[in-house]
Amino acid sequence: MRYNKPLSIILLFMILLVVVIQTSIFIAHEQNIYYWDFNGYWRMWEEFCATFPNEPINSIRTVFHSIRHDDYNSLPVAITSWFYLFNLPSRLSYITSLAVMYLFPTVILFHLLCKRFSDNHSFGWLLLSCILPLTFVAFWAPTLKGYPDISGLIPIIAALLYVSSSDFGDKVKIKKALVTGLLLWSPFLLRRWYAYTVVSLYISLPVLNYFLYNNAKHSFGRVAIIIKNFFVAGIFSVLLTLIFQGALIKRVIATDYATIYSAYQSSLSHSIENLYNDIGLYLFPFVIIGLLSIFRSKDRNDKILIIFSAFNLVFSFFLFTRTQSPGVQHCLPFALWALIIATLGLKTLLHLATSKTYQYSMLIAVTGLCFFINYTSLFSAKQYTTIDKLLPIKSLPIHVDNFNNYVTLVKNIESLTQGNEKVTILSSSSVLNDDMINTISYRKLTGKIAYASQVDLRDGINIESLLSKYFVVADPIQTHLTPDGQRVITIPANEILSGDGIGAAFRRIGPAYKLSDGVTAYIYERTRSYTDKEIKNFFSLFYKHYPQWEQVYGKGLYYPFLSASVVVGDTWGKFTISDNGEIDAHPGDNTPTTAKWILTGVNTLVFDSYNTTCSNADGVDIKISNDEGKSSNVYIKNGSSGIMDVEEFSGKESTIEILKHEYSACDSIKITAK
């Protein structure tokens, strides 16, 4: 049977139907416990869907701002937002939008790529080139969990098709060069981490084009023209990046990602293990056959595509793993290159079949195997001792045991935080984390959860989260990376569970909550402020591992802030700390903002009134006093600064009061230590 238009239309419809049905079944088996990346992009999508119908211009501006500034911008989810028109349940609508808008085109483009590089146009072969990507677990796993990262594969395959369809060596083609530059910028636009693949493609695509269209002897003239075309493409990619993502590029240049992502790093062998776990060792024999076919195949295009894919797999993987070990979403381009090689390996086996019967038998067997692997990896919790080692790691619908206990825990947290109290969740695993708790509450705990730091060198210590009234701690302590990289979780959690150090300021309340995987959660109440000794000992535990942190947290107002018992004034009251150790405060409209604290290592306080936009602003009054009867006062005029000598209060408990003068308008005060 030959490939024709009616068959292609039927094939497209069947592929789309499989995509929609599989997505619907997967979501139907999940519980409402989404968290982190599984949750974040979905919420971003919901927000855009809610605001766009009423404020389309502002919504689009927000997307452009996100593109310019954010490491992971909202563009991929904004593109799929029109799916809200189907009035489906939100999660189902979101995941279906990703599958239909991104996974479905990826399957079609992969099919077209196989068609472009193959002289075999039989329906059986082209059907196989659809089934392989359609059932490929490495494509499905991140998509079903809510990652929009597969969107980056569309411009990658499109660029490969575009460059392979035209000779870039006969003359300089500005239009084609600009289109190529746009296509190669697009993966980075959609997901920042595709930068490694883009670099690899800029090296390999010119070589691919040269060998596809140069059948004669070597020509330096053609090489020069190809280089010129891709130079124009590269310049255009850079210009687009600077125009639309300038702020992001400045931050990328100034950021040492290898350091801040060190907790995500692992050995090369572990990164390779992650890759074959996501792809599946079952594909490895076909990859080997594909590579060996370079020496046997008579199809020159096949050889070129295999070498091209092998280079991009190895080189881009090497570049990426210098920064971090790949997660399930990061394996997408590596999986693409491996699948291309494996598909051409299967094509070689089909050519070796001596009869149509053998060929069709092989097609049926491969199709059945693909669907079995897809089902086993995405839907079946059953363990196959031997087979599982060859299959992709299971990526089942999100589900936990003892879900009712999670619901009870959340309801109790909601009850405890009905006033102005906050809760901190000192746990960061798939069993328990703060985002999961908020999702179970249907976002009712938004504003009530003080999100703790999770990764040491990426997040540092979130001081404010340590001042919550209530804490949830898991036993055993839960981390999603190695504990050595998540001491911002393990150190406070250990102290609270043991009652040592800052843990002495807590008491356990309520029952034990039996969660999934043998984990038990407890709620603790902070009954008093931390003492100066407890705070110093607490920070010293971090300084043992990160001595450079002493230059950060040993200065500023971190210690005094952590010791503070704060009562914010009514209406406008505020008392928070920034990442650089400066306190931002505001008095209330009728009552002052007060903090009882210990001024450790602080001799002078500087007060800056920085909000000058109110016509009736008249400044603030600051008073510091202690139980010994000592006090000091200063009036800060709006838009001015003032200094207070607090040496007599240093190392002792004192109270700072921030009061409006006559009016509370624009009374924001920045407090720094000197």
Q: Over the stretch 467-493, which tens digit does the pLDDT of each residue have?
A: 999 999 999 999 999 999 999 999 999
Q: Same domain, yes or no, for 151 and 26?
A: yes
DSSP state of 618: -
This prediction has a pTM of 0.87
Q: Same domain, yes or no, for 46 and 184?
A: yes
pLDDT of residue 104: 98
Could you say which of 362, 389, 416 is where a domain stops? 389
pLDDT of residue 36: 93
At 603, which CATH number?
2.60.120
Q: Same domain, yes or no, for 597 and 634?
A: yes
> CA 263, 266, 269 angle in degrees (round to 5)?
170
Sequence-distant (6+) residues with CB within 8 A of 463 are: 558, 561, 562, 577
Q: Same domain, yes or no, for 130 and 219?
A: yes
Q: Same domain, yes or no, for 329 and 450?
A: no
Does residue 651 belong to any structural domain of this protein?
yes
Give me the residues of the chain with pLDDT under 70, please. 1-4, 120-121, 258, 260-263
Distance CA 524, CA 442 (A): 23
pLDDT of residue 270: 87
Does residue 139 belong to any structural domain of this protein?
yes
**Residues 185/220, Cβ–Cβ less than 8 Å:** no
Does residue 398 belong to any structural domain of this protein?
no
Does residue 284 belong to any structural domain of this protein?
yes
Does residue 395 belong to any structural domain of this protein?
no
Please report, for residues 116, 316, 355, 545, 651, the alpha-carbon distance to residue 536 in angstroms, rounded to integers and kept in the order given.
66, 45, 79, 15, 12
Domain limits for position 648: 558-673
Q: Same domain, yes or no, for 546 and 601?
A: no
Q: Same domain, yes or no, for 325 and 410?
A: no
Q: Same domain, yes or no, for 300 and 236?
A: yes
Could you say which of 553, 572, 600 is where a domain stops? 553
Does residue 351 belong to any structural domain of this protein?
yes
Distance CA 14, CA 663 (A): 69
Q: Same domain, yes or no, for 89 and 70?
A: yes
Q: Same domain, yes or no, for 350 and 287?
A: yes
Distance CA 670, CA 620 (A): 12
Domain count, the chain: 3
Q: Same domain, yes or no, for 432 and 347?
A: no
Does residue 310 belong to any structural domain of this protein?
yes
Could you say which of 339, 365, 389 is where a domain stops? 389
Q: What is the CA radius of gyration of the chain?
A: 30
Distance CA 557, CA 102 (A): 48
Please report, for residues 34, 414, 476, 507, the alpha-carbon distance to residue 522 in angstroms, rounded to integers and kept in the order given.
21, 15, 11, 10
Q: Same domain, yes or no, for 622 and 527?
A: no
Does residue 128 belong to any structural domain of this protein?
yes
Burial letters for 386-410: b for 16+ Cβ neighbours within 10 Å, e otherwise?
A: eeeeebbebbebbebeeeebbeebb
